[in-house]
Amino acid sequence: MESTPAVPVPSKPKIPDDPGRGAFISLRRLTPFIRPYRGQMVLMTLAALGATLVGVAVPLLTKNLIDGPIAHHDKAALWPLGGLVLLFGIVEATLFWLRRWFLQRAALGIETDIRNAFYRHLQKLPVAFHDSWQSGQLVSRVSGDISSIRRFFGFALIFLVVNSATFLLVGGALVVIHPVMGLIIYAASVPLIVYGRVVDRRYHRQSRAAQDQAGDVATLVEESALGIRAIKAFGRQGLVFGRFDDRARQLRTLELRKIRTLSELWAVFALQPQTVLSLCVLIGAYAVSSGALSLGTLVAFISLYLTLLWPIESMAWLMAQSQEANSAAERIWEVLDTVPAIADPEDTRNAGDDRRGELVFENVGFRYPNSAKPIVSGFDLRVAPGETVALVGPTGCGKTTLTALVPRLYDPTEGRVLVDGVDIRELPLTELRRKVACAFEDPTLFSASVRENLTMGVPDATGEQIDEALAVAQAEFVHDLPWGLDTRVGEQGLTLSGGQRQRVALARAVLGRPSILVLDDPLSALDIHTEGKVEQALHSVLRGTTGLVVAHRPSTVLLADRVVLLSPAGPDGATIAAVGTHQELLRTCPAYRDILSQTSDLVDAADEAEAEAAEGELVEVTR
């Protein structure tokens, strides 16, 4: 089974001029996230419409007040109508409160659900996806974009509905009160809608560009926070700030463009109702003076029309919010639509007995999705259960890449990797990752307690197992930390040295005794004294486990039963140059001696004459 690698999406995709955009396709696709809250949304829309109805009733009551008790000087009739106006005011305020409180709860729920789905999906996406995306672009999506969507659902959507309903309702009432003036109001809205749609598209492009730029700015902040030591050590604060300033200014320019468009929208949407209002006042005043209209009717008409001013003016802002949320949703879907290339197979197989741990590379080739040439090709290797094999080779030849194929951080582009006779692509990922544990050269610890970091792969590990793993990795120092195993490490926690982190990461890998242990130069940051002790303990762990160890130094090579020497990467990538025990290769393989010679006197101690004599006996594979 060959899985397709995740399609690399450029960190700043070109904004397509999609004619369907006006239909808010990306936002509409979020409907499944709204479904659990639809009851609340409907109730809140009803509350909002109720408040609007009450708002419409007040001017009509005013009309009755003016044309009735006021015109006829009937003080007694004034009180019940005045009381009714007050009651309607209280009902309107209560409905406002209900709408705001429950709607925001629903919007926050939708926001949390989208954010969780986004993060869950990010965890499923393979390393190749993360290689091709700037982390700031992901951070800006999970924070800024999802918040834009929440603002839309918690505010803009309901007002779009309420404003449209208000417009139809009040407009209808106005037509009934005075058909000519009412129809003028409707007719005048047509050019406004056409204009709004044209400007809306422009605003969509602008808000998408600004969102992408915000992602770039976030990437720079993250990069400089991670690389702060190097920046300071090389005194490059000025340079880094220059780059940041440049991007931040570009963001400012893009935001200013949006503001210009929004200001234009506001101005037009504010001018139109005022113009219509003055027209209505003129026509109405003429009608009252000629006796065709009562003063109360004109006051009611104008009062009602005044209730439309804000809904019409705010449409400009609501349309902009909707476009912003739509382009934010577009950015969310770009991630959610990426199919995880490395996932559980449909038909899973069982790798059998837990403790066997046979690892086979069968004619494996690999090329990174974004590179033209393969890193390795034709790699054949069988690591027997309990055996440890070291990968040695020139820097950049693909040792780390090969180890990454075992836990399926990447899938081979040719051939297959088998564990206990089963292609690992046919194993459930949880089973594979229970069988295979890794410790990388650059150990990552999470901002959590030492215990949480250690038990990531084995959450139910006992205290005894933890102590055993700590002993193997010579990481007992964690007991001396201020709160022992409960001390927070990693970001915002206690800072550990490189060697200490490496030992905790090693303890994490050996905890739970995996059947296959993949170690990528796990001792590189240790002092000679600690390295010796860790090696001793690792020897005993590796005796009961299958091991694949990337080794740069002879001391690490000595952990292995056999050594695989990789050739320097050629046009077809690296291949196996030689396989043998450390001693055999030392004696017979000059390339192997060359690679190790700079770091050890073990090599100098080897007898060159003996090496030449034994040369023919070595299993040597050259492609």
Q: If you write DSSP's letter for every residue of 442-463 in order, what string do you get?
A: S----SEEHHHHHTSS-TT--H
Backbone angles phi, psi at 266, to 5 degrees: -55, -45
Binding residue for ligand ATP (CB under 6 A) from 56, 125, 375, 422?
375
Question: Could you tell me the two tokens for 45?
Answer: 């829309």
Taking CB under 6 A as the criterion, the residue among 294, 400, 413, 597 binding ligand ATP is 400
Provide φ and ψ at 251, rounded to 5°. Answer: -65, -40
User: CB of residue 133 vs ligand ATP: minimum separation in angstroms?
Assistant: 12
598 in contact with ligand ATP (CB under 6 A): no
Shortest Å distance, C-beta 573 to ligand ATP: 9
Write down the least CB distance from residue 570 to ligand ATP, Å.
12
Torsional sign, CA 597, 600, 605, 610:
negative
Which position among 10, 16, 85, 131 is part of the footprint of ligand ATP (CB under 6 A)? 131
- Per CB under 6 A, 396 contacts ligand ATP: yes
**Judged by CB under 6 A, does residue 317 bind ligand ATP?**
no
Helix (H) or strand (E) holding 284: helix 237-289
* Segment contacting ligand ATP by CB under 6 A, of 96-104, 254-262, 346-354, 397-405: 397-405
User: Toward ligand ATP, which CB reaches closer, 128 or 276?
Assistant: 128
Which whole-number Å values give the CA distances from 618 to 363, 387, 621, in the listed order? 21, 19, 9
The residue (of 330 and 441) whose beta carbon lies closer to ligand ATP is 441
From 188-196, 253-261, 364-372, 554-562, span contacting ligand ATP (CB under 6 A): 364-372
Nearest approach, Cβ of residue 521 and ligand ATP (Å): 7
Does the footprint of ligand ATP cover residue 443 (CB under 6 A)? Answer: no
- By CB under 6 A, the residues from 54 to 83 that bind ligand ATP are none
Residue 508, both tokens: 């994490």
Residue in this structure with the two tokens 């990481």, named with its chain if needed:
475
Give the position of tokens 């990388």.
Answer: 440
# residues contacting ligand ATP (CB under 6 A)? 13
Number of helices (H), then strands (E), belonging to the chain: the values are: 23, 13
Residue with the two structure tokens 């479904």: 35
Q: Is residue 250 a contact residue for ligand ATP (CB under 6 A)?
A: no
With binding defined as CB under 6 A, does residue 491 bind ligand ATP?
no
Q: Is the Cβ of residue 388 or residue 401 nearer to ligand ATP in the bound state? A: 401
By CB under 6 A, residue 398 contacts ligand ATP: yes
Using rule CB under 6 A, residue 126 touches ligand ATP: no
Q: Which of 237, 278, 350, 370 binds ligand ATP (CB under 6 A)?
A: 370
Cα-trace Rg, the chain:
35
CB of 132 to ligand ATP, least distance (A): 8
Task: Pick the closer one to ligand ATP by CB: 308 or 551.
Answer: 551
**Which residue from 368, 561, 568, 572 is in contact with ligand ATP, where contact means CB under 6 A?**
368
DSSP string, 100-120: HHHHHHHHHHHHHHHHHHHHH
| 3 state SS for 190-207 | HHHHHHHHHHHHHHHHHH
CB under 8 Å, gap of 24 or more: what pairs does 18-24 form? 21/201, 21/204, 21/326, 22/197, 22/200, 22/201, 24/322, 24/326
Handedness of CA 430, 435, 440, 445 (dihedral sign): positive
Helix (H) or strand (E) segment spanning residue 43: helix 38-65
Q: Is 395 in the site for ligand ATP (CB under 6 A)?
A: yes
21 lies in the site for ligand ATP, by CB under 6 A? no
Minimum CB separation from ligand ATP for residue 369, in Å? 8
11 binds ligand ATP (CB under 6 A): no
Task: State the nearest-atom distance from the C-beta of 596 to ligand ATP, in Å.
Answer: 13
325 is a site residue for ligand ATP (CB under 6 A): no
Which range in 193-201, 392-400, 505-513, 576-584 contacts ligand ATP by CB under 6 A? 392-400
Angle (CA) 449 452 454, round 5°: 110
Using CB under 6 A, list all residues that contact ligand ATP: 131, 368, 370-371, 375, 393, 395-401
